[in-house]
């Protein structure tokens, strides 16, 4: 099909641009082509429009643009930019949502999704096992502005049923929790929420956009830290809010564009490149994670292995139904507490000690002393964050090498 000129002079649209939901491309094809826009030069790679703003042929055009910007018309990069829009269209197509808004970080996405729709007097129900900064928004920020937040054990549907009363405005959860890889049954919780008239906001980072089809299961809004698997190479911070066109353009965008949380075009370009290989990377990492989990299970120095792909995981069946995979993360407890865990980590030769995840490089994290250090001990105990717990993000290295590395480090622990 010949490219059709659209909107700005010179900006051409290939099939696929604005094609979200109108073609029947499979995930891998969408990840490479969806949302692509080409200039009059017909460049192969997605162009980086490193421009803060846009010019208009005449004053009338400027007036018209401010009155109503069309699909491929831009005003200011804090509102939108062609490179950023390519990323938004590509991730919306991947998620199966009508639209998306790209943000400066994952936390800008979580904050934007929640704060843009809530007002004083509203009620939110959230799972308790959350990324620390998500917990800060729910516990500190929202409550300070008069929003009531009730926390439940995300895996316990009875607690959701009891807490999500009619009039609840929104429900928030991480589909797979950090660091103990507990799942929330998205379909069941969405049914409970919708029956009460609440909007379902799902932080899907750990489950990845490849394995967890949160919208298909009933979630209304899905947020990601693109910093993790979407970039996948430790280069940039980013995030995205995915949802209906009405939610994105009438609720999330006005809040985000006026409060300055938009993604930079350069970051969008990095994320677009990350997406081309996202499916391949997630599947390769999950294959390695599964092999690692199987090898660790029953190891004499390992007290327990938490991996949703193992039959021993209490939610194994739910994980298979919801994700069709155990995911790319493995958590396990080294016998001997913090000292043994530190000896193990310090002996690793391939996996790096860090707190990122979903990266090409395998990463080991000690949640009790880093990502979850601030939590009081009773809360750590309740979440299963023991002194010996290691969170391992399987990377793209050879799985045999990773296993050999883990085995030699365990022998030192
Ligand atoms: C990392 C992470 C975030 C925050 O993302 P940033 O890009 O670091 O702002 C939010 N939720 C979860 C589950 C995460 O893992």
Q: Residue 42 — pLDDT band, cuts 50, 70, 90?
A: very high
| Beta carbon of 329 within 6 Å of any ligand 1 atom | no
| Beta carbon of 356 within 6 Å of any ligand 1 atom | no
Beta-sheet pairing, 123-127 with 170-174 = parallel
Q: Tell me the fold of 279-410.
A: 3.90.1150
Q: For residue 179, is the peptide bond before it cis, meaning its omega torsion is within 30 degrees of 0?
A: yes
At residue 70, the pLDDT reads 87
Instruction: Pull the structure tokens for residue 174.
Output: 């991480």
Q: What is the mean pLDDT of residues 140-168?
A: 97
pLDDT at 325 over 60: yes
At residue 345, the pLDDT reads 98
pLDDT at 1 over 50: no
pLDDT at 290 over 80: yes
| Beta carbon of 234 within 6 Å of any ligand 1 atom | no
| Beta carbon of 227 within 6 Å of any ligand 1 atom | yes
Ligand 1: atom nearest CA of 130 is 13
- Number of residues assigned to the chain: 413
Which string of DSSP letters, residue by residue, matches 25-74? --HHHHHHHTT-EE-TT--SSPP----SB---SSHHHHHHHHH---TT--
| Beta carbon of 99 within 6 Å of any ligand 1 atom | no
Q: Residue 169 — pLDDT band, cuts 50, 70, 90?
A: very high
Q: Residue 212 — pLDDT band, cuts 50, 70, 90?
A: confident
Distance from the alpha carbon of residue 45 to the mean position of ligand 1, in angstroms: 28
Ligand 1: atom nearest CA of 237 is 7
Looking at per-residue pLDDT, the higher value among 2 and 273 belongs to: 273
pLDDT in tens, 11-25: 555 444 444 456 789
Ligand 1: atom nearest CA of 227 is 7
Return the minimum-mean-pLDDT range out of 70-74, 267-271, 289-293.
70-74
At residue 3, the pLDDT reads 40
At residue 71, the pLDDT reads 86
Q: What is the mean pLDDT of residues 301-309?
A: 98
Q: Give the span between the Cα atoms of 168 and 382, in whole angstroms.
A: 26
Give me the residue spans of the domains in the chain: 11-275, 279-410
| Beta carbon of 224 within 6 Å of any ligand 1 atom | no
Distance from the alpha carbon of residue 301 to the mean position of ligand 1, in angstroms: 31
Percent of the chain having pLDDT more than 90? 90
At residue 7, the pLDDT reads 42
Beta-sheet pairing, 329-334 with 389-393 = antiparallel
At residue 24, the pLDDT reads 87
| Beta carbon of 225 within 6 Å of any ligand 1 atom | yes
pLDDT in tens, 382-405: 889 999 999 999 999 999 999 999
Q: What is the mean pLDDT of residues 213-226?
A: 96
Percent of the chain having pLDDT more than 70? 95
Instruction: Centre a 10 Å sphere on the Cβ of residue 315 and count the other Cβ atoms it contains.
Output: 17
Distance from the alpha carbon of residue 408 to the mean position of ligand 1, in angstroms: 31
127's enclosing H/E stretch is strand 123-127
Write down the H helix ranges in 152-277.
157-163, 186-195, 208-211, 245-246, 253-259, 265-276
pLDDT at 44 over 90: yes
Average pLDDT, the chain: 94
| Beta carbon of 239 within 6 Å of any ligand 1 atom | yes
At residue 402, the pLDDT reads 98
At residue 13, the pLDDT reads 53
At residue 120, the pLDDT reads 97
At residue 213, the pLDDT reads 87
Ligand 1: atom nearest CA of 109 is 9
pLDDT at 5 over 80: no
Q: What is the mean pLDDT of residues 156-179?
A: 97
At residue 23, the pLDDT reads 77
At residue 22, the pLDDT reads 60
pLDDT at 294 over 90: yes
Looking at ligand 1, which residue's alpha carbon is closest to its atom 7? Answer: 106
| Beta carbon of 237 within 6 Å of any ligand 1 atom | yes
At residue 132, the pLDDT reads 87
Ligand 1: atom nearest CA of 239 is 7
Return the minimum-mean-pLDDT range out of 73-87, 241-255, 316-330, 373-387.
373-387
At residue 191, the pLDDT reads 98
- The answer to whether the beta carbons of residues 249 and 204 sit under 8 Å apart is no
Looking at ligand 1, which residue's alpha carbon is closest to its atom 6? Answer: 106
Q: What is the mean pLDDT of residues 153-161?
A: 97
| Beta carbon of 359 within 6 Å of any ligand 1 atom | no
| Beta carbon of 131 within 6 Å of any ligand 1 atom | yes
Name the residue among 293, 113, 107, 328 with its Cα closest to residue 212.
Answer: 328
| Beta carbon of 203 within 6 Å of any ligand 1 atom | yes
**Domain at 11-275: CATH code:** 3.40.640.10
At residue 15, the pLDDT reads 45
Q: Give the span between the Cα atoms of 183 and 308, in whole angstroms.
A: 8
Distance from the alpha carbon of residue 29 to the mean position of ligand 1, in angstroms: 27
HSE at residue 70, side-chain half, CA atoms within 13 A, is 8
Candidate from 228, 235, 271, 367 with most ligand 1 atoms within 8 A of CB, to mutate: 228
| Beta carbon of 204 within 6 Å of any ligand 1 atom | no
């Amino acid at each position: 099909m010949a490219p059709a000129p659209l909107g700005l002079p010179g900006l051409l649209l290939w099939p696929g641009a604005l094609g979200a939901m109108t073609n029947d491309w499979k995930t891998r094809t969408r990840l490479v082509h969806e949302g692509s826009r080409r200039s009059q030069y017909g460049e192969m790679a997605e162009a980086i429009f490193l421009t803060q703003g846009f010019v208009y042929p005449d004053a009338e055009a400027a007036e018209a643009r401010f009155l109503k910007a069309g699909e491929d018309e831009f005003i200011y990069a804090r509102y939108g930019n062609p490179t950023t829009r390519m990323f938004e269209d590509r991730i919306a197509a991947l998620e199966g949502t009508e639209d998306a808004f790209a943000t400066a970080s994952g936390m800008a996405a979580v904050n934007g999704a929640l704060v843009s729709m809530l007002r004083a007097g509203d009620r939110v129900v959230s799972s308790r096992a959350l990324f620390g900064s998500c917990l800060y928004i729910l516990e500190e920020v929202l409550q300070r502005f008069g929003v009531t937040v009730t926390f439940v054990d995300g895996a316990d549907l009875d607690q959701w049923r009891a807490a999500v009363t009619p009039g609840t405005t929104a429900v928030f959860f991480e589909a797979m929790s950090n660091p103990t890889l507990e799942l929330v049954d998205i379909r069941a919780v969405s049914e409970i929420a919708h029956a009460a008239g609440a909007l379902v906001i799902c932080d899907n980072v750990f489950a990845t956009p490849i394995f967890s089809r949160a919208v298909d299961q009933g979630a209304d809004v899905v947020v990601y830290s693109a910093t993790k698997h979407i970039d996948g190479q430790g280069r940039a911070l980013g995030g995205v809010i995915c949802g209906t066109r009405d939610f994105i353009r009438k609720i999330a965008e006005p809040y985000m564009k006026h409060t300055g949380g938009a993604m930079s075009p350069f970051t969008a370009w990095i994320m677009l490149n990350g997406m081309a290989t996202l499916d391949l990377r997630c599947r390769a990492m999950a294959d390695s994670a599964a092999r690692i989990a199987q090898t660790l299970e029953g190891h004499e120095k390992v007290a327990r292995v938490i991996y949703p792909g193992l039959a021993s995981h209490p939610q194994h069946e739910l994980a298979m139904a919801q994700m069709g995979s155990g995911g790319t993360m493995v958590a396990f407890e080294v016998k001997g507490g913090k000292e043994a865990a530190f000896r193990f980590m310090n002996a690793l030769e391939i996996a790096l000690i860090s707190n990122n995840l979903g990266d090409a490089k395998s990463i080991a994290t000690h949640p009790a002393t880093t990502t979850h250090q601030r939590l009081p001990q009773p809360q750590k105990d309740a979440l299963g964050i023991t002194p010996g717990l290691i969170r391992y993000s399987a990377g793209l290295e050879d799985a045999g090498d990773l296993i050999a590395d883990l085995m030699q480090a365990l022998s030192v622990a």
